[in-house]
Structure 1
Amino acid sequence: MSLKDIYFLLDSFYNITGLPIRYYSNEQLVRMLPDIPSYLDPVGKALPVLAQDEFNVSYHVSEDFLFYGKITNDGLAGEFILGPGYYTPLTKNHLSKIMIHSTISYQHSTLFAEFITKIPLISFEGFLNSLCFFNFALTRKRITVEKLLMTGNHFNSFEADIKNKMSQNLYETETELTFHNTYTLEQQIIEFVRTGDVERLKALFENSVRGKGGLVAKDALRQEKNIFIASVTLVTRAAIEGGLDMETAYHLSDTYIQQSESLSRLDTLSFLRQQMVFDFAGRVAMNEIPEKASLITIECIQSIKKNINSIILVSKIASDLGVSASYISRRFNEDMGISLSSYIHKIKMEEARKLLAFSDKPLSEISNYLCFSSQSYFQNQFKKYTGETPLKYRNSFRNCT
């Protein structure tokens, strides 16, 4: 990539996001946007921390809750540093702390405040999305926010600690936020938790554009904790509706909230929130399967959900799993109390409900996606299953929201 192309990429990113960005070559600053004197740049303390990270894409949250990101390209000399970004409006006290920690002279307070307050507010996840976007534009290599969060070395011990505390609290305690443009995303998460659809949740977290909620706290850490508590509340209710035992759900909710209150990092809170959603959804999914279900039945259910947009034949499932169709049909009926063909139909209908509720896809496209022989046959089957036509179901759902 030529220097001219690099400049174009820097200009484009800054014009789109408003986030400061720098290009270093041989540890020397080549270009920064916006063009400010070095004595006003608070990045100094973040640079050594980012330099220690072995990954090509990494992030750092400062003690003042400022977000920074680093991107290096194996085929290009130098590195790119993004930030600072921040989530909540900066108070005079917060500005003073940033200047002190960044060793910026008080005599430059007016110029510094003018620079940093022009940076648009952005959530931590929004900042990570911007970091992933710039990395793709630069390297054509895709990395998701979830994977970026998981690359931090501190998560190895953190995740183990979470699991230990979950087990201890669950089995020894036997004696938004006001959302703004997040409603649709929130409803999708709730629906996927309610149905135990872990795979769809993973895809949603990897590919969705993060919504922006309102401010519910005076500082970034409290903001994230409040969002976390609201999220746990919604997800807990969805899991109970999906069949998760109420006591288990509430114990799990209490454990996650207690754990969130003990954290002091925005990135660990964000990671915990995603793991919390996956945990509840996973428990709902396993709750659907009887405790003594055979392995062949569990594999059969996984195969059906994975191939929901294909023609699903009992003979094909049996062949893939290396057993006879009669055997798998008999075991499935014994384990689940429903015939395999009826279960396949049920899963197809539940998928149709999601598509009608959360997308604008026409009926013909939904019918084709789920491999029904015709749109009219799909409509008849949906009405038999739900008692409503697909169009009426879609309209009634949206009237409720």
Structure 2
Amino acid sequence: MMDLDGLDYLATSLASIAVVPVHVYQGEKLVSAHIPVRLPADPLALCEQDALALASPVGYLSVGDSLYVGVVCAGDTRLVVGPIPEAPLPAAQVTQMAAQLGVSPADLPQFQEGICSLTPLPLLTTVQVLCAVAFAATGEKVELDRVLVHDDAQRTIGSNLVNEEFHAAEFPEEKSLGNSSLKVEQVLCDLVRQGRPDELRAYFSALPSFRAGVLSPNLLRNAKDTFVTSVTVVSRAAIAGGMNADEAFSLSDSYINRCELASDTQQVSELGYHMAVEYAERVGHLRLGEDPSQLVLGVTNYVRSHIFEPIRTEDVAQALFVSRGFLSSRFKRETGMGLADYIRREKVAEAKSLLRNTEQSILDISTYLGFCSQSHFNAVFKRETGMTPREWRLQE
């Protein structure tokens, strides 16, 4: 087993060569941080505890859209690599990270520049490198298929399906119980596709027992494999409801990795509930009306992607290749809401999240969300909620 100095040397080399952050921990104590770019805040703080919870010799965790961390465990010492982007990150995602970390607006350009200077790496490439690092640190050879969740889960599912088909053909039961989970799946997918999280919660609370498929004789493994199948189906229902495909698949990866960390079937079950509701909520933010047109979905996706920027009607129209007048009238006719009103509503919703979940000042939040002044932000927020941002934060 390599000593701490040796692991720190590996971390330094990896950070310099790959241009990604590498942290060394002993237990839960941070020993050293090697960040090859200038950042006013360490982005690992957003997912540190989840990363340290990984216990396998080599593992990874999706921590956002196209963003992940990798971990090498060597005894009680860990190398945590990342966060690493798989592709250049959208400006809105980088800005949201900065806000969550408490980066001041004055330091935001430096944070954006630093994050954009990190090397985008495919997950497979990083896992291969981490397997080599693990071998150098511990002498243990780690095969890729022990690390990549998707391949392992797919192999388990495929193997069990083959065995089930053989058993059904050779030893048919006199009376089949059937699989009533199909109806549950149909209802769940409809509610996700239509973006109706409240109805989905109510449905889950009154959900009758049903027979799910058996993918493994081990109860926990079976629950996890069933979860993988469910998140795949739900993510595609969300895409059908208008959710951006890259966002849907990235969220799916994140939930699959969180599922692999679960230690009992109850945790897997609770994660499945939160997974379905989150997809429904995200689709609900995009869908205005029962059957929104592609134009309305285009507007809602644009606003979601540019929430941390000033958004003008002409910007949205230009992005969707339509005239400003046509966009405004069509949006109003379909949704019953003016486009400017919708933008303000979404800005206030994001402001509530920042007020609730961060310690950012009200001035900084107004700056992050593209308001021309704090007084303008206060006026818009009060018009939407009946309270000033300060009053709203105090009553939460």
Q: Fold match, TM over 0.5?
A: no
Instruction: Report the TM-score when normalising by structure 2.
Output: 0.45
Larger Rg: 1
Instruction: Report the TM-score when normalising by structure 1.
Output: 0.44
Q: Which has the higher contact order (CA 8 A, sep 6+)?
A: 2
